[in-house]
Amino acid sequence: MKGLFWRILLLATLTFAKPYVLLISWDGFRWDYPDKGDFSALKYMQENGVRAQSLQPVFPSKTFPNHYSLVTGMYPARHGMIFNSFTDPRTGIFYSTRRKTKNGLFPTDWYRGEPIWITARRNGIKSASVFWVGTEVIDKQRRPDYFEFYNHYMPHETRIAKILEHLQRPRAERPHFLSLYFSDTDDYGHKFGPDSREIPRAIRKLDQSLGRIFRGIEEIGLADSVNIILVSDHGMTETSPQRVVPVDSLLSGLEYTVNGSGQVSSFLADAGTVDRIEKRLRAYGRGFNLYRRDNIPAYYHFSGHPAIGPLVLIADPGWYLRIKFPLSSRGAHGYDNRFLEMHGIFMAMGPAFKKHYRTGMLRNIDVYPLMCHILGIRPNPEMDGELIKIMHVLKQ
């Protein structure tokens, strides 16, 4: 009887005391943006939780690769999202952030790995998303239990209200992992530049929304149960018309396919054309690094995916590779992920986290095992992330 009692008690504890994780992304929010003004919600979060010096993105420091790495703990060459858009040379099919099927969903097989909503389902935990890369796929079993079709113009208030509604569902239907996305600082960073006066305005709007989230969670009585993790996918750096590599002109007359965009590009072509591309680019020789696929530095973890072509061109920070389109923004990202201006933020607050704790740089691939640990679920053993490298932010 005594053993039965403890089993029942354990079951009750797991049923009624399961923690919550709310993962919030502020797209393009550079590591130093919190210091660009007096932002009350960010200040409250720092005083009552954890702030890292920076969050290192994976390479390339683009939106889709990094958002999917945050929820899978994998490098892009393994989870499949190597760029925001690319062509699979095996099939000729083109993937992009806007290329959906007729029903508004993405083909499932583009998204490899195991995002945390699948890990959660495997462990009997429901999940909800108000926008995240990889949630809008055809296969229902690879989507969160509750998800939204991406709407760039959905007001902050509506997004927050949807999260709070999920947290007030009946206990048996309630998600314990939730994700929430905002694009403001990425939008403003591209349009005006990361050091423009418009950036603090965008931060203030996000900060006000963060405060609403804090108050909403407190009002529904879950302040002592919800762990809030605030991240960004990458940072941002200034661009200039004086730092443009005219790739299109340099390679005029050659037949090739390009995967990637103005900060990192991969060329697919026959062997002879690859040699000619390499010769012309090396003759120009400034504003970039050029690698053969087999010689890409290991620290990029950027090999093994069929859509990575025989040549990979990586722009120097602040430079732009003009291949398909002219330079049209004052800020950009996608560069070497070791470059500090490509780093984002990591802040966290809740019952699992230390208070008023500062730490150094963290890696975004380690966020997935951290969230699994908080939720008490076993992560995908195929992940690249390591809990040991981030668990010092936790109370225990």
**Active-site residue set:** 63
Q: Are 25 and 231 in contact (CB under 8 A)?
A: yes
- Which residues lie closer than 8 Å to 368 by C-beta, 6 or more apart? 70, 71, 72, 73, 116, 379, 380, 383, 385
Backbone angles phi, psi at 25, to 5 degrees: -115, 130
Backbone angles phi, psi at 55, to 5 degrees: -120, 115
Taking only Cα atoms into account, the Rg of the chain, rounded to an integer number of angstroms, comes to 22
Pairwise CA distance, residues 81 & 133, whole Å? 10
Kind of pairing, strands 357-359 and 288-292?
unpaired
